[in-house]
Amino acid sequence: MSDGLRRGPRRAFLLAALAIFLVLLLLGARLGAGRSSEPAGSPLSEWMENGLLVLLLAVAGAAGFVGVRLEGSRDAALRQLELESARYRELCESSGDMIQSVDSRGRLLYVNPSWLETLGYAEGEVLGRPFGDFLLPSELPHCQEVFGRLLAGQEVQDIETIFVAKDGRKIFIEGDSSASFRDGRFVATRGFFRDVTARKLLEADKQRYLRRIETQNLELELRNREVEQANRLKSEFLAAMSHELRTPLTSIIGFSDILEEDQETPLLPIQRTYLGYVRKGARHLLALINEILDLSKIEAGRLDLHPVETPLDGVIPEVVTTLQPLAEAKAIRIECKVAPGLAVYADRVRLKQVLFNLLGNALKFSPEGGAVGLEAACLGSLTCFAVTDSGPGIPPEEQEEIFTEFHQILETSTGVREGTGLGLAIARRLVEQQGGRIWVESEPGRGSCFRFLLPATPQGPGVPLPRERNEAMAPEPRRGTVLVIDGPGEEGVLSDTVLSLGCRPLAARDGREALYLLERIRPSAVVVNLLLPELDGFQLVLRIRADPTLRDLPVLALVKPGMSLPSMDLLCAGPTEVLCPEPGRLRETLEPELAKILGHPLASALAGAGVL
Ligand code: ADP
């Protein structure tokens, strides 16, 4: 309470009492004078006495009045003060922050309920004790330094320290503290703190996790190096071994041929049969060894490619003529459609090897009397090849797998399962090493079409790799990668369609995952079904448009007929196309749009446009 408030009414009452005392004194004097029957004073002095009396009475009245008024306002101010103090106390008591006040010797004067609750103490166990008793011992020096600054009148912000709860738990806190002073003398500190234990533990977890990832990455890198080394050694070993094996095998085949053709000492029929097995087995082994040799050379980086401008009117007839006997044996006609004057910039021998493999497979898997086609056409700076057959076709889930080493489809309708399972793996490596790409389009029961692209000229650009590979996670933009988000119950539909169009699909399960991927990779386009659960397609598109780094990313938004589009205006902002494919015509709807975005016709468009 202020001194003025306390002293004001007291002074007024004293003044009133003094005035009344003087009045009484004056009256007493007058009475005494009347009784002594002395002659009355002059009328002037009587008049002055009366005036003084009246004045004193007035002063007494006024002082009394003021005193009463001051007493009233003092009570009101006291009530107000009590009210305010109750309000502040209530604020402190109900605050979620931990509030504490400490005296000049560091003893706790006040702690609020949140403080007690967080540390698990009762008020009686805490008040009067040094605040250092509740700190983690290692925190004491730091907190004493802070306390010293508070005593010196500084306000200390962003204090971080660790308390120890009654049950021994560490409580991480953060907050600010300052001190109050009266007449220049320190009264107490007032500190406001928050319990940030959960966040700190999370951060510690995150740090631990990051450290673990770092260690794992290091280990992985080490392993990778070991694997690379082992791989190189394996390839070198295979290359050397295959070379050694080839020499005796060539002798076996050569001498078997001589035995077979020897007219002077003809073989018995049974011997001839056995010799046939030997020759077939030896040839298969030789083919296998040759392919292993090729593959290991490619892997060891020892396959020298000599790309030159290669006119196709020389290469293609050579390949077809070599395979003609195989075709005739199955009554298959090889139909060639090659635009005149067409050339490709590639290693001649390796180009022939790829064509042999694809045409050989086409003949092998087509039924007797079937049809096999070889087409080549120019597409800008690329030369496109297509080898078609009327074989059993390849199921979608096998269309990537067949390009991996030793992978053969177990069941084909023709029951054909011969060969090494290496031809396509080699073909893919050969094509890609020359800046091209290769893939298959096929439907079971409707034949297959193997396509590959190679630069037509030395300056021709390479073709982006089509398959989903690990490096798709690299942050730089990759042409041809399309982020797809399927609608519920349609998982894989968009990926398959995009893959069949020759693009590389990157599938996200929902909008959230799509945003996560978009932080790490910049695809050429996004194809999203607007009917997504959780973060739906609309929100995903809006989020993309709101992000300055993604604002220009082309989005193809798929809707179903009759679906309401509430945010149409927003959707159409930026390069967003809203598409409503007719049932069964998803591929046809997507193809021209993706081609527009990628700036070149897509795989299937090449055939559709009659280019191939
Ligand atoms: P290989 O033909 O020697 O087994 P490839 O690598 O050339 O090895 O082919 C791998 C597998 O792919 C084959 O075993 C076969 O299952 C499948 N395949 C390849 N070409 C065709 C085709 N034209 N039609 C059907 N299946 C094929």
Q: 286 with 246: CB under 8 angstroms?
A: yes
Q: Provide the CB-side half-sphere exposure for 30 (13 A, CA).
A: 14
Residue 308: predicted pLDDT: 92
Query: CA distances (Å), 536 to each of 81, 248, 326, 531, in order?
Result: 57, 66, 56, 6
Distance of CA 419 from the midpoint of ligand 1 (Å): 8
Q: Locate tokens 């508070």: which residue?
A: 150
- Ligand 1, closest atom to CA 365? 24
Distance of CA 332 from the midpoint of ligand 1 (Å): 18
Closest CA to ligand 1's atom 8 = 421
Distance of CA 411 from the midpoint of ligand 1 (Å): 11
Query: CA distances (Å), 406 to each of 76, 88, 303, 355, 535, in order?
Result: 98, 80, 20, 19, 42
Separation of alpha carbons 125 and 166, rounded Å: 10
- Ligand 1, closest atom to CA 450? 23
DSSP-derived 3-state class of residue 308: strand
Separation of alpha carbons 336 and 374, rounded Å: 5
Q: How many CB atoms lie within 10 A of CB 124?
A: 7
DSSP-derived 3-state class of residue 165: coil
Residues 6+ apart with CB under 8 A from 207: none
Query: CA distances (Å), 251 to each of 246, 274, 289, 292, in order?
Result: 9, 17, 14, 19
Distance of CA 448 from the midpoint of ligand 1 (Å): 11
Distance of CA 348 from the midpoint of ligand 1 (Å): 23
Residue 353: predicted pLDDT: 92
Residue 413: predicted pLDDT: 44
Q: 590 with 571: CB under 8 angstroms?
A: no
State which of 408, 429, 440, 446 you would mutate to test the pocket of ligand 1, scoring each by most atoms of that ligand within 8 A of its C-beta. Answer: 408
Separation of alpha carbons 80 and 74, rounded Å: 10
State which of 334, 354, 424 you would mutate to test the pocket of ligand 1, scoring each by most atoms of that ligand within 8 A of its C-beta. Answer: 424
Closest CA to ligand 1's atom 9 = 421
Residue among 561, 562, 565, 587 nearest 576 (CA):
565
Residue 466: predicted pLDDT: 39
pTM: 0.45
Separation of alpha carbons 251 and 267, rounded Å: 19
Distance of CA 361 from the midpoint of ligand 1 (Å): 6
Structure tokens at 375: 């087409």
Closest CA to ligand 1's atom 11 = 408
User: Which string of DSSP letters, residue by residue, matches 557-604?
Assistant: EE--TT---TTHHHHHSSSEEEE-PPTT-HHHHHHHHHHHHHTS--HH
Closest CA to ligand 1's atom 7 = 423
Closest CA to ligand 1's atom 23 = 362
Separation of alpha carbons 135 and 354, rounded Å: 75
Distance of CA 287 from the midpoint of ligand 1 (Å): 15
- 112 burial (CB, 10 Å; 0-12 / 13-18 / 19+) is buried
Residue 579: predicted pLDDT: 84
Distance of CA 402 from the midpoint of ligand 1 (Å): 7
Separation of alpha carbons 209 and 489, rounded Å: 35
State which of 402, 405, 452 you would mutate to test the pocket of ligand 1, scoring each by most atoms of that ligand within 8 A of its C-beta. Answer: 402
Gyration radius (Cα) of the chain, Å? 49
Distance of CA 421 from the midpoint of ligand 1 (Å): 7
User: Which parts of the chain register pLDDT below 50?
Assistant: 1, 412-413, 461-479, 605-612
Pocket of ligand 1 (CB under 6 A): 357, 361-362, 365, 389, 391-392, 394, 402, 408-409, 412, 419-425, 448
Residue 611: predicted pLDDT: 39
Model pLDDT for residues 231-264, shown as the tens digit of each residue: 778 777 777 777 788 888 888 888 888 888 888 8
Structure tokens at 335: 């139909």
- Ligand 1, closest atom to CA 425? 6
Residue 392: predicted pLDDT: 92
